[in-house]
Amino acid sequence: MRRAWRAWTSLLSIREGAESLALIRIGAGICVLYAIVPALLDGAAPILWMGPGDGGYRTPTASHWVAQALGGVSANLTWGVIAVTLLSGAGLIVGLGGRIAPLIAGQGLLFLTRSNPLAGGAYDAMLMNVLWLLVLSRSTATLSVDCRLRTGGWLRECTIPAWPRFLILVQLVLVYGATGIQKVSAHWNPFGDLSALYYILQQPSWQRGDMTWLARVYLLTQCGTLVTWTWEVTAPLLLVVVYYRAATPGGGVLRRAATVIDWRTPFALVGVVMHALVWILMDLGLFSAVSLAMYPCLWTPNEVRALIARRWPSRNRSLARAN
C-alpha cells in the first residue's frame, strides 16, 4: 500500500512545460464557439434552448443551478448565458482569464445542455471534462494574453503539473477504445462483411447529403471500416507507448516494440484523416472537433517547444533571453 501511495504521489508531482496544455486550451476554446455559433447563424438558438413562447419547440429544463437560483429558464437568461459563454470561449483561444474562462465556459455549456438534453450528445461531456481539467491547471502559463501581460512575451518557458495532460490522454484513448470494443457486430469486425460504414452513411440522420454513390466504391468503405475498428480497438495501447517513451531506456521486447517508431504519429495521422472524412460526410456534432482538440496531449511540452523553435527561431531566442 505504501509503495502504491508513493507511486501515486510521485505521478501527481511530475511537472512539465505548459505548451501542450496551451494548445489544448486553444482547441477547447474553438470547440466552445463551434458549439454555439452555428446555432446562432442558422437562427436555431431560440428553437433549441428557449421555451415555446420565445420560439422554442419544448419547455426548457431548469436543472442547472443558475436557472434554479434565478427562478427558471427565460429568454433573457439564456441569451445572457450564450453571450458570456462565447466571451469565455474567445478568452480560452487567446488565453485571457486564467482558470475563470474555462470555468464559465463549462458552466455555460452545462446550462444549455441541461436546458435541452435532446440537443446535444456525449461530445458535450467530453468537452466539459476537458474544460474542468483546464480549470484545475495553469493552461494560460504560455501562448496566451495572460503570459503577455505578465512577462511581456507570448511564450514563456515554465513548469506546471503534468497530471491534467495525462488525464486528457487517458480520456482520449478510453473514448476511442470503448467505442471500438462496443463495435461487436459482424458488420464491423474483421471476421464479418465490413459493411458498417457503408450502411451508416446511408442513414439520413447522419448524412450531410446523398450517399448512394458509395455503392460504386463499396470496397473503399470496407477498408475504412476495417481501419476504423482496428484503430479504435488498439487506441489504449498508446498509453503503453507514451509510458515507455518517457521511461528510462532499457531492454525488453515490449519496450522495443513500443519505441522502435513513434507510434503516436501514425495514430494521429489516421485520426486526423478519419475525423476529416467524418466531418465532410456526416453530421456528428462536436465529436470530431473535441477529439482533435485533445490531440496535443500525445506530445510532451518539450516536443511542442522544439516544434515551435523550428517553426519560429526568433521566438526561441526570445525565450532564451527571457530565461
Does 126 map to a domain?
A: yes
Does 307 map to a domain?
A: no
Residue 173 shares a structural domain with residue 131: no
Buried b (16+ CB within 10 A) or exposed e, 230-254: ebbbebbebeebbebbeeeeeeeee
Does 183 map to a domain?
A: yes
Does 317 map to a domain?
A: no
Domain count, the chain: 2
Does 23 map to a domain?
A: yes
Residue 57 shares a structural domain with residue 181: no
Q: How far apart are CA 280 and CA 102, in angstroms?
A: 29
| Residue 276 pLDDT | 95
Residue 142 shares a structural domain with residue 50: yes
- Cα 32 to chain center, whole Å? 11
Does 313 map to a domain?
A: no
Residue 277 shares a structural domain with residue 232: yes
Q: Which of 104, 136, 161 is the last residue of a domain?
A: 161
Residue 173 shares a structural domain with residue 210: yes
Pair 25, 102: CB distance under 8 Å = yes
Alpha helix stretches (DSSP H) within 205-312: 218-233, 237-246, 253-259, 264-281, 287-293, 301-311
Per-residue pLDDT tens listing for the chain (323 residues) = 777 788 778 877 899 999 999 999 999 999 999 999 999 999 999 999 999 999 999 999 999 999 999 888 999 999 999 999 999 999 999 999 999 999 999 999 999 999 999 988 889 999 999 999 999 999 999 999 999 999 999 988 899 999 999 999 999 999 999 999 999 899 998 999 999 999 999 999 888 999 999 999 999 999 999 999 999 999 999 999 998 888 767 667 888 888 888 999 999 999 999 999 999 999 888 999 999 999 999 999 999 888 877 766 655 545 444 44
Residue 224 shares a structural domain with residue 152: no
Q: Which of 111, 135, 161 is the last residue of a domain?
A: 161
Counting beta carbons within 10 angstroms of the beta carbon of residue 31, is it exposed (0 to 12), middle (13 to 18) or buried (19 or more)?
buried
Residue 104 shares a structural domain with residue 138: yes
Pair 84, 36: CB distance under 8 Å = no
Residue 173 shares a structural domain with residue 139: no
Is the pTM for the entire model greater than 0.75? yes
**Residue ranges making up the domain that contains 266:** 169-284
Does 54 map to a domain?
A: yes
- Please provide the DSSP assignment of 231-248 as one string: HHHTTTHHHHHHHHHHSP
Residues contacting 98, CB < 8 A, separation 6+: 138, 140, 146
Counting beta carbons within 10 angstroms of the beta carbon of residue 94, is it exposed (0 to 12), middle (13 to 18) or buried (19 or more)?
middle
Reference 18, options 165, 136, 170, 173; nearest CA is 165
Residue 257 shares a structural domain with residue 185: yes
Does 243 map to a domain?
A: yes
